[in-house]
Amino acid sequence: MSGTPPWHVQEAEADPAKRAFTRDELQAFFDHADKQVGRVRGLGRKGWLPAFRDAMLFKTAYAFGLRRNEARMLDVVDFGRNPRGPEFGEYGVLYVRHGKAKKGSPPKRRSVLTVFDWSAEILQQWNEEVRPLFPTAKPGALWPSERSARVGFTQMNTRFGTYRDSLGLDRGLDFHSFRRSYVTHLIEDGWDARFVQEQVGHEHASTTSIYTCVSSDFRTRTLRRVLDTTITAALQLERKPQ
């Protein structure tokens, strides 16, 4: 029987019409999100708080390779120390409690180790300085909304789409592109593929490989490195006394 095994279908999240951010696009998106906070606050409007929240939410989704629901359902207590990464303080590991579930199974849990120092910094700022300003902030949800304890999908999607369209980026980018970008950028930066697979909670390495949208520049550099290594090895072999 040909085709994808039924137990693997649950992991098939990659839509060929979707893609990862390039590094420049991602930086532009985050810069735009930060600028909107300053712009709204400068106008004296109350909307700077949700704008700040969404900027932090988007960055956190990328920093830990999260799916949309995983990011939305984060609680304040879902972070902890990593003895092997003391420099990250209280944000050395993220415990995902609402991972994608297979049919008939409870949400899948996993731990994600912090790899970006800036992510610990922004989370500390959010929790200590900004989140308490929300009147709905109570022990529990990491991302409160203006009227309820937890931000909704509509708010997340609307903000993402507004920023993407304002920057003139194509619709191949969606919230899940943060996760695709996380996988792609770690692989490009030389992180072990198995480590990346464990970080994002993929049961199959093939799923992680589908997510990997490495840039043409990365492929060119990889090819050049392999060719140079091969040529060097061949020259050394020729120089060996017979």
Residues 185-214, mean pLDDT to the nearest whole number: 78
pLDDT value for 93: 97
Confirm if 182 and 65 have CB atoms less than 8 A apart.
yes
Does pTM surpass 0.85?
no
H-state helical runs in 2-149: 6-9, 23-42, 48-63, 68-72, 117-125
Looking at this protein, which amino acid is placed at residue 104?
A: G
Instruction: Report whether pLDDT(207) > 70.
Output: no
Closest of 52, 49, 48 to residue 40, by C-alpha: 48
Q: How far is CA 190 from CA 116, 185, 187, in A?
A: 14, 9, 5
Q: Report the half-sphere exposure of 168 (CA within 13 A, side-chain side).
A: 0
| Higher-confidence position of 236 and 1 | 236
pLDDT value for 224: 56
> Considering the chain, what is the average pLDDT of its residues?
85
Query: How does pLDDT run across 100-151, given as a tens digit for each residue?
Result: 877 777 888 999 999 999 999 999 999 999 999 999 998 899 999 999 999 9
Quick one: DSSP state of residue 75?
B
3-state helix, strand, coil in the chain (%, to 5): 55, 5, 35
**Other Cβ atoms closer than 10 A to 182:** 26
Rounded Cα–Cα distance for residues 38 and 30 (Å):
13
Rounded Cα–Cα distance for residues 94 and 79 (Å):
5
